[in-house]
Amino acid sequence: MTEEERSRLIEQHPIGRGLDAFRASFTATCEKLEVESRPDALAWFERKDLENITISFLFALLSCEVSDLLLLKTGRGTLRDKLKKIISATTTDEFDFDHIKPLLRLGLVDEPDDTLIWHHVYDLVIDSTPPPRSIASSLLQTPWLHNTSSFANSSEYRKDVDRYLMMELGPTYVGLCRFYEVFFERIDGLGNAAEAVFKKCMEGAEPLFNEAWSGWPRTASQDEVLSWFADISNKFTEFADESRLKPLNQRRLLAQPNKPIHGSTGERKLVVGFVDDPEAGKTSRCRWEHILVPGELKSNPSADRASKAWLDLGTYAREVLAAQDNRRFILGFTICGSLMRIWEFDRLGAIASEQFDINKDGLQFVTTILGFLWMNDEELGFDPTIKTKDGKRFFEINRKNSTERLIIDEVMQRARCIAGRATTCWKVHREGCPEEPLVVKDSWQYPERDEEGQLLLEATEKNVVNVAQYYHDETVQICGKDDDVRNNIRGGLDVTRATNYRPGRSKPLPMMTSGTSRQGRSSVTGQKRTSSQIGAPLPYNKRSCSVSPMKPPVGDDFSNRVHRRVVLRDYGIPIYWASTPSILLSRIGDCLQGHQSLLEVIDVVHRDISINNLLMNSKGFLIDLDLAIKTHRLAASGAKGKTGTRAFMSIGALLGEEHSFMHDLESFFWVLFWTCIHYVGPGNGRVVKKFDYWNYADTEELAKLKLGTIVTETLFTKTMTDYFTPHYKVLIPVMKLLRQVVFPKERPWQQDNMKLYSQMQEILQNSLVLFACKSSTEKGQTMLGPWDSNWALTWLFPDLVPQRRLISRPNLPVLAFSPTSQLTHHTNNARNIPRRQSGTHRAFTTLSY
């Protein structure tokens, strides 16, 4: 069957309303999960949900008459025969739903394209029974894209951020019965103190608590509850002082629901929370770095769900984690009506306690409030390895069998996210050596991944150029144990015992056990108990809970992240701080050379070329090998390649192609393009609404937007003319040349081409010659006629721009004619230029101008 015959059959037999049942099933599942009904919500679906809607979709296609008319491209039979086999395969553990998600999305758009749908069906049946993938391979190749730290030059409006924050958090487990045991038992004397304070609350002629809290507003409106909450918290403090119990830390409950908190990218308000200022009041100017325990109040008990109170609290937690660079996790609370939950946010997501009614369980309420007031910094989630002495923050590393103290000079970068790697970079120096800056990268990594430190060590030992140089790496130690989320922070809490847990989510993932780290890695703090050392349950927790050993891990429900630090010798600033366009081009060229060196010397593909991973000092260099991978492992994984930072990802990577070095080279193009649009000067960024959407668009939609940007030179030139800042408009001709080599034939590349490195480098290097010439003429040398960068680039690249003629004679002035026949004659101050042969033109050795 020819393509023409297939197209005619598809046109004659439209799907029509055949997908209505599938779309209704998708909408119902979104409502059940409390997520917005749109194609990218598939990322939120559990395996069983994906199985159900996939079967619904495939049966819809099976019922279309054309499925029995469309013949297979290879072998005998029709698409209907293959669809039946795929439906059967979806119920097996080996079926990979990532293969079919692009097809499902096509059926969910407002106006489905029949031709495109059946084209994808043909692609699907070719590989309808892919071999099973291990979770480790999946993690190596396909990190979670929906992460709120990847927004570049964004306004971060709530409506945009919330959608990705829900996907970032992933499954949120609530009703964990050992929650209080893990996070509150460590507080010395809390149980006895809470009982003493609660006893006082029940004393007197007008007790505060008598079967319920006195003064509790019947309507549970936000303002009334806030007023009551502040008063009752002060009472608890007074009773604790009167009983001469453990001195309270200098904290206070702050309620400013209508006042934005300073320090957010987008405007954010906090309803209620505990702050580190005992004098804080309604008129206080508060910043996110002052918030210790955020809270959220809702008048309706039904708001205790993912899309309401949980998401609002998650928004606050994201801001607090971003503002406090020494925070490992955050505790928070929600009160919906009179129903309260305690929350913990970390680099895996969020978990919560059982729900309790504060009017029925007064002791639990007192215990919770006193706990927030009494917790020390480590119990609140601050990193105990980061200490302060004489006003200087520092931490220690064990390098080459000796302890070194690293003084923190400044925070260079802090990822704005909850779940994920959550990278923090500090500029530091060794104690006594302030003239030798180092950079520390602190992050939370999947234990299955190659350790970045080892890749950097190999790169340094083998003299890879223009990549940050290795100094030291370690797994952070707390109480002599590897710091991780599942065992150290969460104390081994079993999420399968959550009230909303549903099994069968994914495939097994090896469980990370906490133990002795690799030799030479240590940074041990004091021996205070952590959550991994919790013993008996709290005396005040009356609820029974059967505790069983940790079950065999199942998929992402049992994933883990380990706290690691890498110390680098090279200190630099992001390339968007380049003072001139020519310096920007030079530093990007250095980074391009570093990328090629990584590939050729140690067989590593970077896979995350982005605006913050290209740094510069006297040269440009690459950082961040978190997503880097050896090319032989890349091919062996067989997984698709959605890795990188959204705005800078290549078109192919956005569409899920297996990652290649070519995707990274395209990312260099998008980094330069993005910089020219968003920076009006060195480090002076702006938000451009049209491109802000790139941070939030579905990956397939973003791929189409990028393809539409470069599809024709006319449209690409118009985009640059309209949106490049005045500071970078001079780079428009350079970008046009890069487009020609990065997108040959005005479309994404079709096969690997190592020559692309030299092609891009030649454009960058020769453009620097152009800028050097321009700089000299501006300093007083004679130049007849206006400076014409298009003409100059024609002179440099006659093969790419053949419409102008070049006349050159060695050691004589260069004469060039533009299309208008205007003669441009450069004289004075001869400048040597590297010898070069361009097409049929003569080589030249000297440019006189």
pLDDT of 327-382, one tens digit each? Answer: 999 999 999 999 999 999 999 999 999 999 999 999 999 999 999 999 999 999 99
Q: Which residue has the higher pLDDT, 42 or 387?
A: 387
Q: Averaged over 77-104, what is the pLDDT?
A: 82
pLDDT band, residue 839 (cuts 50/70/90): very low
Mean pLDDT of 92-103: 81
pLDDT at 789: 52
Backbone angles phi, psi at 490, to 5 degrees: -90, 0
Quick one: angle between helices 661-678 and 755-778, nearest 10? 30
What pLDDT, on a 0 to 100 scale, did the predictor assign at position 97?
84
Query: Which residues sit opposite 340 in a β-bridge?
Result: 335, 356
Give the residue-averaged pLDDT of 600-605.
Answer: 96
pLDDT tier for residue 624 given thresholds of 50, 70 and 90: very high
Give the whole-angstrom CA distance, residue 335 versus residue 331: 14
pLDDT at 596: 98
State the pLDDT at residue 399: 95
- List the single range of 457-471, 591-605, 732-746, 818-832 with lowest mean pLDDT: 818-832
Task: Give residue-wise pLDDT tens across range 677-716.
Answer: 999 999 999 999 999 989 888 888 899 899 999 999 999 9
Residue intervals in the chain for CATH 1.10.510.10: 573-748
Contact at 8 Å (CB) between 524 and 179?
no
Match domain 573-748 to its CATH number in 2.60.40.10, 3.30.300.30, 1.10.510.10, 3.90.1010.10. 1.10.510.10
What ranges make up the beta strands (E) of 436-476? 437-445, 470-475
Pick the more confident residue, 138 or 483: 483
Count of Cβ atoms closer than 10 Å to residue 696 Cβ: 19
Q: Is the pLDDT of residue 655 over 50?
A: yes
- What is the radius of gyration, based on Cα positions, of the chain? 31
Q: Which residue has the higher pLDDT, 502 or 567?
A: 567
What share of the chain has pLDDT > 90, as a percent? 46
Residue 512 has a pLDDT of 34
Domain with CATH 3.90.1570 in the chain: 176-385
Which pLDDT belongs to residue 149? 73
Which range, 611-625, 744-758, 818-832, has the best average confidence (pLDDT)? 611-625
pLDDT band of 637, cuts 50, 70, 90: very low
Q: Which residue has the higher pLDDT, 849 or 799?
A: 799
Asked if residue 82 lies in contact with residue 72, where contact means CB atoms within 8 angstroms, the answer is yes
- Alpha-carbon separation of residue 338 from 259, 304, 309 (angstroms): 24, 11, 13
CATH label, 176-385, candidates 3.30.70, 3.40.50, 3.30.2010, 3.90.1570: 3.90.1570
The whole-number pLDDT of residue 793 equals 55
pLDDT at 397 exceeding the cut of 60: yes
Nearest to 417 by CA among 504, 557, 319: 319
pLDDT the model gives residue 516: 37
239-243 mean pLDDT? 80
Report which of 301, 326, 312 is spatially closest to residue 273, judged by C-alpha positions: 312
What does the pLDDT average to over 276-287?
73
Please choose, from the candidates 22, 224, 172, the residue with its C-alpha nearest in 3D space to the C-alpha of residue 104.
Answer: 22
| Mean pLDDT of the chain, nearest integer | 80
The H helix count followed by the E strand count for the chain is 25, 29
pLDDT, average across residues 433-458: 93
pLDDT of 843 strictly over 50: no
Whether the pLDDT of residue 794 is over 90: the answer is no
pLDDT for position 808? 39
Confidence check: pLDDT of 485 > 90: yes
Tens digits of residue pLDDT in 819-831: 333 333 333 333 3
- The least confident of 36-40, 157-161, 697-701 is 157-161
Structure confidence at residue 75 as a pLDDT band (50, 70, 90): low
Count of CB atoms situated within 10 Å of the CB of 715? 12
Residue 276 has pLDDT above 90, yes or no: no
Please give the average per-residue pLDDT across 275-281, as a whole number: 75
Please provide the DSSP assignment of 502-525 as one string: -S--S---PPPPP---STT-----
Averaged pLDDT for residues 443-458: 91
The amino acid that residue 89 corresponds to is A
DSSP-based helix, strand, coil % in the chain, nearest 5: 40, 15, 40
> Among 26-35, 256-265, 336-345, 546-555, which stretch is predicted with the lowest mean pLDDT?
546-555
Least confident of 53-57, 554-558, 841-845: 841-845
What confidence score (pLDDT) does residue 828 get? Answer: 35
Question: What pLDDT score does 642 carry?
Answer: 57
3-state secondary structure of 657: coil
Specify the DSSP element, H or E, that contains 474. strand 470-475
Q: Does the pLDDT value for residue 812 go beyond 60?
A: no
Place of tokens 């180092």: 438
